[in-house]
């Protein structure tokens, strides 16, 4: 059984975030690990990195507030953070390094691209570059 001190949950604004936060709470309870939920806003290169994109910030706030609510339902407190970056994968890995986490937890929905299951860009990058364990939590195929 892995001993966890810090868990990073990468919220992505999809339906799998809820399950990811719940799983993080369940894993963290035994060793009283800290949970950090981060939401990454990817900023296109045609904008300055610190561009204020109200719609994205609003969406991020909703996602992170929901994560806090889910954790509260399980009597757990989470720390949330909102980051803007060019690429989500790099930001997640960097955040994991910064916080020295033991586990990165990512929820993903079942998505296909041209008929083939697609992990996107961030997940393969995190799987390749993360300094710690990575747990993927995929929603059932609906």
Partner 1 sequence: MRNNWQPKPGDKFVRRPRVKAHPLRRVLGIPGLYSVGYGNVGSSIYYALGIIALVAMGATPIALAVAGVFFVFVTLTYAEGTAMLPEAGGSSSFARHGFGDWAGFISGWALMLSYVVTIAISAFVIPAYLGYFWAPLKESAVMSTAVSMGIIFFLMIINVIGVRETSFVNVLAAVMDLLVQILIIALGFLLVFNLDVLVHNITFYWPSWENLILGIALAAIAYTGVETMSQMAEETKQPAKRVPRALILMIITVLILFGGVSTVALSAMTPQELATNWATDPVAGIAHSISLAITPEEMAAGLSSEKEAVIVLTWIFTELRNLLPGLVAVLAASILLLATNAGLMGISRLAFSLGRHQLIPSALSRVHHRFKTPYVSIILFAAVALVILVPGLFAPGVFIELGALYVFGSLLAFMFAHASILSLRIKRPDLPRPFKLGWNIKFRQWELPITAILGLVGTAAIWLVVIATQPYGRWVGLGWMAIGLGVYFLFRWRKRLPLSQMAGKPARPNSVGT
Tell whether residue 134 is a contact of partner 1 (CB under 8 A): no
- Least Cβ distance, residue 59 to partner 1 (angstroms): 11
| CA-based max dimension of the chain | 46
Q: How far, in Å, are 13, 19, 136 from residue 69 at the CA level?
A: 15, 13, 21
Task: Scan residues 7-46 and list those touching partner 1 (CB under 8 A).
Answer: 42-46
Q: Which is nearer to partner 1, 22 or 125 (CB)?
A: 125
CB 22 within 8 A of CB 74: yes
Residues between 64 and 103 with contacts to partner 1, criterion CB under 8 A: 64, 79-87, 90-91, 93-95, 97-98, 100
| 56 part of the interface to partner 1, by CB under 8 A | yes
The CB-of-53 to partner 1 minimum distance in angstroms stands at 5
135 binds partner 1 (CB under 8 A): no
* Rounded Cα distance, 125 and 93, in Å: 8
**Is the torsion defined by CA of 97, 98, 104, 109 positive or negative?**
negative
Whichever of 46 and 112 has its CB closer to partner 1, that residue is 46
Burial of residue 103 (CB within 10 Å: 0-12, 13-18, 19+) is buried
Which residues make up the interface to partner 1 (CB under 8 A)? 42-53, 55-57, 61, 64, 79-87, 90-91, 93-95, 97-98, 100, 121, 129, 131-132
């Amino acid at each position: 059984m892995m001993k966890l001190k810090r868990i990073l949950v990468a919220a992505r604004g999809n339906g799998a975030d809820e399950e990811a936060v719940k799983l993080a709470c369940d894993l963290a309870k035994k060793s009283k690990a800290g949970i950090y939920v981060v939401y990454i806003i990817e900023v296109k290169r045609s904008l300055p990195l610190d561009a204020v994109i109200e719609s994205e910030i609003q969406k991020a706030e909703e996602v992170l507030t929901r994560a806090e609510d889910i954790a509260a339902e399980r009597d757990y407190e989470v720390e949330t953070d909102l980051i803007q970056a060019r690429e989500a994968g790099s930001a997640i890995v960097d955040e994991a390094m910064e916080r020295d986490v033991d586990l990165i937890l990512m929820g993903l929905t079942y998505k296909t691209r041209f008929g083939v299951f697609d992990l996107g860009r961030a997940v393969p990058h995190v799987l390749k570059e993360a300094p710690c364990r990575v747990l993927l939590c995929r929603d059932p195929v609906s």
